[in-house]
Amino acid sequence: MIWQLDLLVLSLVVICGVGALMIKDLLGSAILFGAYSFMMCVLWAVMGAVDVAFTEAAVGAGVSTVFFVAAVFRTTRRTKD
Amino acid sequence: MKLLGLAIVAVTGAFLIWATGEFPDWGDPHSPASLHVSPRYIEKTLEETSVPNAVTSVLADYRGYDTMFETTVIFAAGVSCFILLRLFGKEEPDTVHYRHLLTGLTIRVRRKREGLEQLGEFERMDSVWTPHDLILRTLSRFLIPFIQLFALYVIAHGHHSPGGGFQGGVILGASLILMAISQDMKSALDRLGERTLAMLSAIGVSVYAGTGALCLVLGSNFLDYAALAEIFRVDPVEARSLGIFLVEVGVGIAVMATMILIYHNLASQGRLDEGL
């Protein structure tokens, strides 16, 4: 892969990961976590692990984001800490 | 306390980054992993199992135990979600909304009255009910069959392309979760009830373990699909491919049912009468 693009995806992974931890709004955190998963999926696909990328896209970016949103919807949207 | 935590995280992170220096380079043909185990699988997969996708044959055949217990973990996750939310998180709403079907009037009743629904003139409403978006509803109704068809393709075509029971099961579950989100949970539960889902979840794991046990009965090792050749009346190589397919179907059923079950319990706090 073109190394500039690789660097961009890698830095997006770090930004999304740190952002998901830092942000106070839990709904935003869930969406950032989905974005993180999707970037990881791109990285897996680039490294040739297509099966892992497929699982990451289906489970990490898809269903687990839905689970997080459902859990936020039934609890609180703001963190206490 | 926060500073202490930060220091521990920084030190652990530094150790981890330092340790990655010892790893072999990415795709290094002389790394231990590529020297001892991988060549055996890459060279012999097609001749031993007639499955072109080596990942599938490693997951479901050579490392069959691993995948079986992964499926069991998924099942256990579904059951524990059910127990946590259903047994401990139960809280009945004080008031319940009903709609009179003939006039469209909405009434609010203290506690759930069983008699009202049996009259046939009232319909239970969600307290957070919002009018359905026509575009969203129509589009997802149009999309869901295609998503399900793709999921079945992913399960069935796992031998030749990326995919398999796990991914296909998740996509199949996601299509039914989409139905619960875009319409309401009641109509999703009418299609595939909670009892059926829990049974399917257990059946999926049993299909996997049962395939293994069948091999045991036929006088071979547990999960040695070559023994199934007598039943399918094919040669042992083809039987291993068919055994992998059977197992993938089991994984698909278990994962699909568990995903929907977790969503339903999570979205309704275990009450299962209201959707998102």
**Residue B217 belongs to some domain of the structure:** yes
β-pair type (B122-125, B106-110) = unpaired
pTM of the complete model = 0.85
**Predicted local distance difference test score (pLDDT) of residue B31:** 83
In this structure, is residue B124 part of a structural domain? no
Residue B243 lies in a domain: yes
Within 12-71 of A, beta carbons closer than 8 Å to B belong to 47, 50-51, 53-55, 58-59, 62-63, 66-67, 69-71
B162 reaches A (C-beta below 8 A): yes
ipTM of the complex: 0.89
Q: Is residue B117 part of a domain?
A: no
- What's the pLDDT tens digit per position in B184-241? 777 788 888 888 999 999 999 999 999 999 999 988 888 888 888 888 888 888 888 8
Domain contains B274 = no
Mean pLDDT (whole number) for B79-89: 84
B33, two tokens? 């992993």
What is the per-residue pLDDT across B23-34, written as a single tens digit (0 to 9) for each?
888 778 888 878
Question: Cβ contacts (< 8 Å) between B263 and chain A: which residues?
Answer: 63, 66-67, 70
At B167, the amino acid letter reads Q
Q: Do A54 and B167 touch (CB under 8 A)?
A: yes
Answer whether residue B145 is part of any domain. yes
Residues B256 and B200 sit within 8 Å (Cβ to Cβ):
yes
Q: Is residue B23 part of a domain?
A: no
pLDDT digits (tens, 9 = 90+) for B244-274: 999 999 999 999 999 999 998 888 766 666 5
Nearest Cα to Cα of residue B260 among B53, B106, B245, B268: B268
Q: Angle at which helices B236-267 and A64-74 pack, to 10 degrees?
A: 20
- Number of independent structural domains in chain B: 1
H or E stretch at A12 = helix A3-22
Substitution target in B148, B259, B263 with the highest count of A β-carbons within 10 Å is: B259
pLDDT tens across the length of chain A (81 residues): 688 888 999 999 999 999 998 998 999 999 999 999 999 999 999 888 899 999 999 999 989 999 999 888 878 888 776
- For residue B230, the enclosing domain spans 50-90+131-267
Residue B80 within any structural domain of the chain: yes
